[in-house]
Amino acid sequence: ELQDRIQVLTTERNDYQSITKTTAERMKEIENAKQNVEERFKQLENDKTRVDNDKSTFEQKLKQTEGARRDLHDKNREHEENLIDLLHDKETLELKIIDLEESARKWAQKFVETTDKQKLIQTNHEKLLSNLKRQHKFSILTYCINQMHDGIDRMKNKELSGEKNT
C-alpha cells in the first residue's frame, strides 16, 4: 500500500511538472507573440511617420504648384494637369494613411487582447499551482492519517492476540 501511495504521489508530481512545463512554454509563446505585435506596431508607427513626412512634402509641393499657377497664367493647362496628378497622389496617400491608422488600431487592440490573455493565463497558472499545493498537502495528510490508523489497528490486533493467549 505504501508503494502504491508512493506511486500515486510520484504520478502527481510528474503531472504537476508536465503542467508547469506546458504552461511555461505557452507563456513563452505568448511573450513571443507580444513581442511580434510590439515590433509590428513600431513598424506601423515608423510607416505612419514616413507617410506623414511624405504628406508634408507633398503639401509643400502642392502649395508651390498653386503659387506657380497663379504666377504663370499662360502655363495654366500644364499646371492643371500637374495639379490633378498631385491631387490623385494626395488622395492615394490619404487612403494609405487611413489604412495605416486602421492597421495601427487593430494591432493596438491585438496587443491589448494579448496582454489580457497573458494576465489571465498567469492568474490561472497561479490558481493551478495553489490547487496542486493544496492537493499535495491533502495527499500527505491522508497518507499520514492512514498510517496512523494502520498503526492503531496493528496495536489492537497485538492487544487482542495478547489477551487471547492469557
- Do the Cβ atoms of 68 and 155 come closer than 8 Å? no
Q: Does 79 score more than 70 pLDDT? A: no
Residue numbers of the domain that contains 50 = 2-165
Q: What is the CATH number of the domain that holds 62?
A: 1.10.287.1490
Angle at CA of residue 66, ends 63 and 70, nearest 5°: 140
The Cα 8–Cα 17 span in angstroms is 14
User: What number is the average pLDDT over the span 112-136?
Assistant: 96
User: What number is the average pLDDT over the span 128-139?
Assistant: 96
Residue 96's Cβ-side half-sphere holds a number of Cα atoms within 13 Å equal to 17
pLDDT digits (tens, 9 = 90+) for 28-75: 999 999 999 999 999 999 999 999 999 999 999 988 888 876 777 767
User: Cell numbers 495654366 label which residue?
Assistant: 76
pLDDT of res. 20: 94
Write down how long the chain is. 166
- Whole-structure pTM value: 0.35
The percentage of residues in the chain with a pLDDT greater than 90, rounded to a whole number, is 78
pLDDT digits (tens, 9 = 90+) for 20-36: 999 999 999 999 999 99
Q: In sequence order, what are the residues at sequence separation of 6 or more whose Cβ sits closer than 8 angstroms to the Cβ of residue 136?
A: 9, 12, 16
The percentage of residues in the chain with a pLDDT greater than 70, rounded to a whole number, is 95
Number of domains in the chain: 1
pLDDT of res. 165: 65
User: What number is the average pLDDT over the span 89-95?
Assistant: 96
Name the pLDDT band for 157 (thresholds 50, 70, 90).
Answer: confident
pLDDT of res. 160: 82
pLDDT of res. 76: 65
Rg (CA), the chain: 37
| 1 SS3 class | coil
